Each structure stands twice: as C-alpha cells, then as structure tokens.
Amino acid sequence: MNQIDIENMENNIFFKENNFILLKGNTLKVLEKIQKNSIDMIFADPPYFLSNDGITCKSGEMVSVNKGEWDRKESIQQVHQFNFSWLKKCKKILKDDGTIWISGTFHNIYSIGYALQVLDYKILNNIVWEKKAPPPNLGCRCFTHSNESIIWAKKSKNSNHFFNYDLMKEINKGKQMKDVWQIGRPKKEEKKFGSHPTQKPLNLLKRIIVSSTKEKMVVLDPFNGSGTTGIAAVNLDRNYVGIDIDEDYLNMTINRYKEKTKQMKLF
C-alpha cells in the first residue's frame, strides 16, 4: 500500500494482500506505529463497556450481555481515559482533511463526544442509526432501545473534508439525506464465517465510506472485529487497514475478504 509506510509494523502484519492489510495487536500500541497524516478516513466501533453481568433478549431468549473482557472497565474514568487515548492517536494519523466516524450507544458516546471536542476535532454530524425490530426491554421501566449514534467529525475546524453530497442526495431520491438512517441488521450471509457481538451491517459501512471518501483513499478501522469495514472498503475500491488483537476475528475477516475478492473476479 504505497500511501502507508508499513516498515515499522512488520511484527504486527497478520495478513496483507494488494491494498488490504490486517494488523494484530493492542490498538493503542499499533496506532503509534502508523505514519502520521497517512489515513483519509477512520471508522471506529470501540467497546461500549456493556458487560456488567446483566441480561438482554436475543432471538426471543434471555441471554447475558457479557461480550468479553475487552468490553469491561472498572469505572467511568477508565472508560473516558481509554476513549481519549485512542482518539488522540487517531488524530495524529489522519490526514489534515481526513474524517473519523465513531459508533456507540449512550453507554460511551457522550464520553467520545466530549473527548473529540477536547482534542479539537470538529463534529460534523450525529447520525442516528434506527434499528428495525430491536430486542424488547425486559425491565419494562424505560423506552425500548432502538438506535445507535454515529458521530462524524473532521480533524479540525479548518479541514476541507470530502462529502459526496450529490450521491447521497441521489440515493435519497433527490432529497437531502437526513441524519436519521433506517438500515437493517447484518444479513445472514454476512455471518457465514462467524459473527462478532457488535457486528455492523455491510450496508451501513458502505454508506459511510462512499459518503466521505473517494476511490483509492485509505480507510482504517482500529477495532476491526469481523471486518465489515474492510469488506465494504474492498467493495468500493478503497484501501484498507484493520487492527485487532483477536486472531479468531482476524481469520474471520480473511475468510470474508477471500470470498469477496473471489466473487469480484468472477464478474
């Protein structure tokens, strides 16, 4: 990938083919190795820190909300320090006109929004992703949770960020696209090689990427997970760098990537 110097990341390279790179390691450490001002767009789906031994409803059954040790923090101070740290590192690697998207729920999105402002990012939008058929509220003591927030911000108030306004208007049948998006959950085929507990739908990432990047630009995901950001990037002819510490999820991403590139070669 000629836009990114990967010499300092040789020990972290888990997979590299054409312009698709997966890096294994703690994202806070790996981000430090990425060249400054080298990334056009970042999509991040950081831990929501929901794992508190509670329960939720999934497919009509009560299940634990616990997702893994990566989703636990002892205090709100730890949560905020983590968010501040990775956002600070992301700002260094973004190009001057680059943008960042961050997905979250009320459990972490306010910390992220505050950290963005302290770090002098310029928030452009707060997208509301409205989910169809959300799980019921088992406690019946508040409204059913049916959305996630996705903050879109540029590196600074002086950044000349790219926005594919005309295409977004075309997709929205000739009207300006609003900041409330109704997009369904991941389709069955998107989980063919396994799934991630916070996996995002491919259509959501495709809209995000096509709205804020041009072909051949570099997209990075510091919390790669099942690799949906990378698959969307491949679909749209963008370069991709994903970071994750879990080999199982990295292998899942490789399987999805190989299937997608095989399909593309057939047509």
What domains are defined for the chain? 7-266 (3.40.50.150)
Please give the pLDDT value at position 70: 47
Q: What is the mean pLDDT of the chain?
A: 90
What does the alpha-carbon distance between residue 103 and residue 126 come to, in Å, rounded to a whole number? 10
* 57-100 residue pLDDT tens: 454 454 444 455 645 566 888 889 999 999 999 999 999 999 99
Q: What is the predicted pLDDT for the residue at 71?
A: 53
Are the C-beta atoms of residues 149 and 105 closer than 8 Å to each other? yes
For residue range 23-67, list pLDDT tens digits in order.
999 999 999 999 999 999 999 999 987 645 444 445 445 444 445
pLDDT of 15 > 80? The answer is yes
pLDDT, tens digit, 9 for 90 and up, residues 205-226: 999 999 999 999 999 999 999 9
Per-residue pLDDT, averaged over 158-169, amounts to 98
Nearest CA to 86 out of 31, 137, 125 is that of 31
**Are 95 and 162 contacting, i.e. CB atoms less than 8 angstroms apart?**
no
Secondary structure of 70-102 as H, E, C letters: HHCCCCHHHHHHHHHHHHHHHHHHEEEEEEEEE
The H or E element spanning position 167 is: helix 165-171
Q: What is the distance between the alpha carbons of residues 94 and 100, in angstroms, rounded to a whole number?
A: 8
> Are 176 and 169 spatial neighbours (Cβ–Cβ below 8 Å)?
yes
Distance CA 250, CA 244 (A): 7
The predicted-structure confidence for 121-139, as pLDDT tens digits, reads as follows 999 999 999 988 888 888 8
**Residue 58: strand, helix, or coil:** strand
